[in-house]
Amino acid sequence: MTKTNKPLPDFSSMTMVEEVDFWDSADLTDYIDPKQIGKKRLKLQLKPVQPKDELIAFRLEKQDSALLKSAAQDLGIGYSTLLRMLVKKYLKKVEMTGNDPVSVAG
């Protein structure tokens, strides 16, 4: 029986966090026939990198910095990218709930 491959989702409508979550849980063989790897080119459209307008510097305790860097390495991304993702996720939650930013932080 031949397995039908699922179409890849539209990553252009996803946030970076949603895309990371997708790839964390996806089985690539559901989308690509392993026998075709190397024979068929997979065309992925990368999102254009948005320019970062402002540099913000702040201090972290050493153990927090080490934990942040370790978590980012586990995800295969830089720690500043992970920090931006976390800030964006937090700000989106504040915006969606309309709650006080301090109460959302929990």
Domain assignment present for 36: yes
Range of the domain at 93: 11-98
Q: What is the pLDDT of residue 69?
A: 93
Domain assignment present for 78: yes
Domain assignment present for 2: no
Domain assignment present for 85: yes
Q: What is the pLDDT of residue 68?
A: 93
Residue 1: pLDDT band (50, 70, 90) is very low
Domain assignment present for 82: yes
pLDDT for 48-106, tens place per residue? 777 778 888 889 999 999 999 999 998 888 899 899 899 888 888 888 877 766 665 65
Distances (CA, A) of 64 to 58, 93, 99: 12, 23, 26
Domain assignment present for 53: yes
Count of domains in the chain? Answer: 1
Residue 73 in tokens: 């390495």
Domain assignment present for 5: no
Q: What is the pLDDT of residue 96?
A: 80
pLDDT for 2-53, tens place per residue? 566 788 888 888 888 888 888 888 887 787 776 766 665 656 666 677 777 8
Q: Residue 72: helix, strand or coil by DSSP? A: helix
Domain assignment present for 104: no
pTM of the model: 0.49
